[in-house]
Amino acid sequence: MTHENSLAYAKKQDAQDPLAVYRDKFHHPVIDDKQVLYFTGNSLGLQPKSAREYINKELDEWAKWGVEGHFEAENPWVSYHEILTPGSARLVGANESEVVCMGSLTNNLHLLFVSFYKPTTKRFKIISEAKMFPSDRYLLETQARHHGLDPDEVIIEISPRDGEYLIREEDIISAIEEHSDELSLVFFGGMNYFTGQLFDMEKLTKAAHKHGALAGFDLAHAAGNVPLDLHNWDVDFAAWCTYKYINSSAGNVAGLFVHERHGNDTSINRFGGWWGHNKERRFLMENSFEPMQGAEGWQISNAPVMGMALLKASLDIFDEAGIHHLREKSLQLTSYLEFIFNDVVNQFPDFQLEIITPSDPQQRGAQLSIKLIGTDKSFFDKLTKAGVISDFRSPDVIRVAPAPLYNSFEDVYQFGSTLHSLLSKWR
């Protein structure tokens, strides 16, 4: 596609966009009496306008029924999580039995590690990416210590080569082969939060399995952003949050995936809880834990209904729009952002800004990471003050994420106009 840096072109693309109607299904922030350009869906998605209706429904059920709402509400609370399963499974490419919404992201990963990180004297190493999200690094570090191991001996971090920003997948495969006899687990962010690099999860999973290791993924920046196919990719386990691209509210309930070959094996060790127990016998209050089959067997506690109502509001929108249709728009929208950015920055050769996200559209989602060279966070601060809501990641990267559900081509054009104005004044 040949792009143009013009308002007329952007408006034409929006007029031709079959998903443009979804923009008006979200609240757009107004800060200092000005509607801002919101490009931070990779950190916190916008609020669906339907969210208030969904949560008010459950508040009304609570007022009407009290505790009886667990069984008498239109969507009984005792099984509320089950109504989130079909939409969640479609988002991540899973069978419904392989998915459950519960807990929070890092808590869920720790629970999954109880089952899938089982180090032995011989096999105890974990391969992951360098510059992973800090919470994932803390997860690996503390899991190693929990097993009485030295994190520096357990964790093998794969870094970009000197002078590069992205991790070459051949380097990951080489590391898997080099450490194959000692390898317990390959664990990556499906999409790296810092650079926006989308890893080939199917390839990494096959490489891990080839050498007797398991493969798991943190999908915080991938779920709701790109189509996933976890079941067919043969991924062992994964977890994701829902407040970024899935727009379910800050810190809301997360999700996890356990492949059916593991989920159907109730002998796999796990930390038990009431809601993971055989639901046919749950209220018999028995002492012995009998895990349910499937991902639900990893549940700990009953459903936080109010948060799940917000998640349902967003999942219903995703079901209506379709993740594959959203991906088509995302490819076009991110490509336009890349074009606009380069067109503007090339007009100011003395000012060094560089995109470090892969240029190959198949290796990225709805995010471009911009490296600041020769300047500091003050540039980001000025961009924010000018009405562009992006985010800054230390030491020198601005992340800009055009979410296809609610961002428009005109948003991207206006970003370029704001960037041009800022660079003009900066000189």
| Nearest-10 crossing angle of helices 323-345, 7-15 | 180
Listed in sequence order, the residues at least 6 apart from 27 whose beta carbon sits closer than 8 Å to its beta carbon are: 46, 47, 48, 49
Write the pLDDT tens digit of every residue in 301-355: 999 999 999 999 999 999 999 999 999 999 999 999 999 999 999 999 888 889 9
Look up the pTM and report it. Answer: 0.96
Looking at residue 45, the DSSP 8-state letter turns out to be: P
pLDDT of residue 352: 82
Task: Phi first, then psi: give them for residue 145, nearest 5 degrees.
Answer: -65, -35
In Å, what is the CA distance from 391 to each residue of 14, 52, 332, 394? 25, 27, 22, 10
Q: Is the pLDDT of residue 118 over 70?
A: yes
Instruction: Report the alpha-carbon distance of residue 354 to residue 388 in Å, rounded.
Output: 18
Domain residues of the chain, as ranges?
Answer: 7-47+322-426, 53-320
Question: What pLDDT does residue 35 have?
Answer: 92
CA distance 297 to 230: 18
Reported confidence tier of residue 217, pLDDT bands at 50, 70, 90: very high
Average pLDDT, the chain: 96
Position 26 scores a pLDDT of 98
CA–CA separation, 337 vs 369, rounded Å?
A: 11
Q: Give the contacts of 9 (CB within 8 A, at least 6 positions apart).
A: 3, 409, 413
- Give which of 115, 424, 129 is closest to 256, Cα–Cα: 115
Q: Residue holding tokens 């952007």? A: 10
pLDDT of residue 343: 97
Q: How many residues are recorded in the chain?
A: 427
60, 54 in Cβ contact below 8 A? no
Pairing mode of beta strands 99-102, 254-258: antiparallel
The pLDDT of residue 228: 98
Q: In the numeric block, which tokens belong to residue 107?
A: 């808590």
What pLDDT sits at residue 373? 82
pLDDT, one tens digit per residue, over 60-75 is 999 999 999 999 999 9
At 251-277, the pLDDT tens digits run 999 999 999 999 999 999 999 999 999
pLDDT at site 65:
98
How many CB atoms neighbour CB 26 within 10 A? Answer: 22
What pLDDT, on the 0 to 100 scale, is given for residue 195? 97
Amino acid at 358: P
* Arithmetic mean of pLDDT, 244-254: 97
427 falls in which pLDDT band (50, 70, 90)?
low
| Whole-number Å distance between alpha carbons of 421 and 415 | 10
Say how far apart CA 281 and CA 306 lie, in whole Å: 26
Which stretch of 41-50, 215-224, 282-291 has the lowest confidence by average pLDDT?
Answer: 282-291
Q: Which fold has domain 7-47+322-426?
A: Aspartate Aminotransferase, domain 1 (3.90.1150)
Question: Does residue 292 contact residue 282 with C-beta atoms inside 8 Å?
Answer: no
What pLDDT is stored for residue 349 in this prediction?
86
How would residue 426 be classed by pLDDT, with cut points 50, 70 and 90? confident
Q: Using 50, 70 and 90 to split pLDDT, how confident is the model at 377? A: confident
Name the class of domain 53-320: alpha beta
Written as six digits, the tokens of 230 are 């976890």
| CB neighbour list of residue 224: distance below 8 Å, 6 or more residues apart | 45, 91, 240, 242, 244, 245, 246, 247, 318, 323
Question: Could you tell me the pLDDT band of residue 425, with boundaries at 50, 70 and 90?
Answer: confident
Pairwise CA distance, residues 53 & 58, whole Å: 9
> What confidence tens digit (pLDDT) does each residue in 156-175 have?
999 999 999 999 999 999 99
Determine which helix (DSSP H) or strand (DSSP E) holds 187, and give its type and residue range: strand 183-189
Amino acid present at 102: M
In this predicted model, what pLDDT tens digit does every residue of 129-142 receive, in sequence order? 999 999 999 999 99
Coil, strand or helix: which one is 23?
helix
Asked if residue 239 has pLDDT above 90, the reply is yes
Q: Parallel, antiparallel, or unpaired for β 352-355 and 214-218?
A: unpaired
